[in-house]
Amino acid sequence: MAKPNYNFAKRQRDLAKEQKKEEKLARKKAAAEAGNVEHLEELDAEQEVIEDGTDAAHDPVEKA
């Protein structure tokens, strides 16, 4: 049985992250040119919540 090439998989993940970051930067730049920065920041915050798998609005609040 062939051994998995972990270096290749890591490189592919890194390339995907870099491409995603570049796309996000391009979206921000386009929105800034259109004057829609506030709306884009809200979308980025929602995207980060989805990526993290957590949502501050649905997390239980600790009581002291």
pTM over 0.75: no
Quote the percentage of the chain above a pLDDT of 70: 59
The residue count of the chain comes to 64
For the residues 11-37, what does the mean pLDDT come to? 91
Task: Report the alpha-carbon distance of residue 28 to residue 45 in Å, rounded.
Answer: 13
Task: Report the alpha-carbon distance of residue 37 to residue 31 in Å, rounded.
Answer: 6
pLDDT band at 13 (very low <50, low <70, confident <90, very high): very high
DSSP per residue, 1-64: -PPP-HHHHHHHHHHHHHHHHHHHHHHHHHHHHHT-HHHHHHHHHHHHHHHHT--TTTSPPP--
